[in-house]
Amino acid sequence: MGGVAGVAQVFVLSPTEVEAFKVAIGEELAVWGGGARLYLPVDVPGGMRPERHRYVPGARAARFEAAAAEIFVDLLAMSVPATPPPREFESVQRALSGLNVSDDLEVYAAVAQAEADEKDTTIQELWKRLQVEEYSKLDLEIENEDLTKEINRVVGGFARRGGLSGLVDELDPSFALPDTVATVDEAIENARRLNGVAIHPDSVRDIEKIETATNATAWANSIWRGFRALDAYASSKGAVAGGFWEWCVAAPSLWTWPATSKKLAMCESEGVMNDKRLRGARMLPVSSEVAVSGRVEMFAHLKIAEGGGPLAPRIYFYDDVRGKTGKIHIGYIGPHENMPNLGAN
């Protein structure tokens, strides 16, 4: 947790203290299982809402050592700049202002100090307003995470009741796939069990960057739903005329993916297609059953998050559903920053 040194107090609970802490603070705000939780200031509306005080599960913290620190630093960035300097700073400031200077300089210094104080007050007020806006944004991210999980749970429940559980081996119920996942890594590992999706070993890149984002859990569940959609499409064996986009629009399936430009692209922009360097970044690994060279151009991709900056996940895929393998082949899973485009370059 070195990343939060100097801006947050860090406490480590021993196994014997976990239960006592849970009793003291309440189960919803507790921390357990090797996890970590950041307790943010509560001087804003809904300050004690448990979801606001972000929890990083022990499994993610163990697998991605920097995950908790990276997430917490992002969240602390909302409040640290708005925190006034400690009271001790005033005495230091007074001592510095008492240096031997001429009368004129003292007057100028006093005027400058008055202006600085006025500006500092304005800055603090603006930071406070920004902090409230940032907390509102965090609340929206929390709601998005909850909704993403709920969508997966509802769709999974309907699918099971309809006999469309998506088992790897329908004769063995122990292989039932989860409705929700905790990490991107978990989504990928479960996706490797899907019959209609082939994930190339070299396709997974910089996942640890995604895992350290504040909205990693929501992204993980969207990635998992995207894999389920691609698998359902492959399993339909071309039941709907056209490709994946058409299937998402017309298929009577619970696992369709939103067929909108914000969530799905079946080709790249003209700028990317006409730029040799940018187009070359889309030459991605694939099974030798699809291409002897082991690489093909992949332009179709799921946009897991429209916003989110350079870390917003992308899944690039190649449609071989009507080909030799009958599968969707994944050539890239990772942050958007690894797939350069004209807007970002």
Q: pLDDT tens digits for 53-92?
A: 777 777 666 766 666 677 776 666 655 555 566 666 666 6
Asked if pLDDT for residue 45 goes beyond 60, the answer is no
Question: In the chain, pLDDT over 70 holds for what percent of residues?
Answer: 65
Q: What is the mean pLDDT of residues 14-28?
A: 81
Question: In the chain, pLDDT over 90 holds for what percent of residues?
Answer: 30
Task: Out of 27-41, 167-181, 297-311, pick the least confident.
Answer: 167-181
Please check whether residues 181 and 73 belong to one and the same domain: no
- Please name which of 5, 10, 39 lies closest in space to residue 24, comparing C-alpha atoms: 39
Q: Give domain status of residue 275, yes or no.
A: yes
User: Domain limits at 321?
Assistant: 165-338
Predicted confidence band at 170 (pLDDT cuts at 50, 70, 90)?
very low
Please give the pLDDT value at position 231: 94
- Please name which of 76, 217, 239, 58 lies closest in space to residue 150, comparing C-alpha atoms: 217
Q: Give domain status of residue 77, yes or no.
A: yes
Please check whether residues 205 and 330 belong to one and the same domain: yes
Predicted confidence band at 236 (pLDDT cuts at 50, 70, 90)?
confident
- Please name which of 49, 67, 83, 94 lies closest in space to residue 1, comparing C-alpha atoms: 67
Please check whether residues 75 and 172 belong to one and the same domain: no
Predicted confidence band at 155 (pLDDT cuts at 50, 70, 90)?
confident
Q: Give domain status of residue 148, yes or no.
A: no
Please check whether residues 25 and 171 belong to one and the same domain: no
Residues 6+ apart with CB under 8 A from 48: 29, 42
Please, what is the average pLDDT of the chain? 78
The predicted model scores a pTM of 0.65
End-of-domain residue from the set 35, 56, 82: 82
Please check whether residues 308 and 181 belong to one and the same domain: yes
The partner residues of 36 in beta bridges, in order of sequence, read 56
Q: Give the torsion through C-alpha atoms of 172, 175, 180, 183, to 10 deg.
A: 180
End-of-domain residue from the set 40, 63, 82: 82
Tens-digit pLDDT profile for residues 213-227? 878 888 999 999 999
Q: Give domain status of residue 101, yes or no.
A: no
Q: What is the mean pLDDT of residues 229-251?
A: 87
Neighbours of 238 (CB within 10 A): 13
Neighbours of 186 (CB within 10 A): 19
End-of-domain residue from the set 82, 98, 128: 82
Whose tokens are 């890239």? That residue is 332
- Please name which of 300, 319, 288, 290 lies closest in space to residue 197, comparing C-alpha atoms: 319
Please check whether residues 211 and 314 belong to one and the same domain: yes
Please check whether residues 77 and 201 belong to one and the same domain: no
Q: Give domain status of residue 302, yes or no.
A: yes
Coil, helix or strand at residue 10 = coil
With b meaning 16 or more CB within 10 Å and e meaning fewer, what string describes 294-319? ebbbbbbbbbbbeebeebbbbbbbbb
Please check whether residues 169 and 78 belong to one and the same domain: no
The partner residues of 285 in beta bridges, in order of sequence, read 295
Asked if pLDDT for residue 325 goes beyond 90, the answer is yes
Please check whether residues 77 and 186 belong to one and the same domain: no
Q: Which tops the pLDDT comparison, 114 or 201?
A: 201
Residue type, 117: D
* Distances 145 to 58, 67, 139, 221 between C-alpha atoms, Å: 19, 17, 10, 8
Phi, psi of 283 (to 5 degrees): -85, 100
Q: Give domain status of residue 344, yes or no.
A: no
Asked if pLDDT for residue 164 goes beyond 80, the answer is no
Q: Which tops the pLDDT comparison, 148 or 258?
A: 258
Asked if pLDDT for residue 295 goes beyond 70, the answer is yes
Residue type, 35: G
Please give the pLDDT value at position 37: 81
39-47: long-range pairs with CB below 8 Å, 24+: 40/75, 40/76, 40/78, 40/79, 40/135, 41/79, 44/131, 44/132, 44/135, 46/139
Number of domains in the chain: 2
Residue type, 276: K
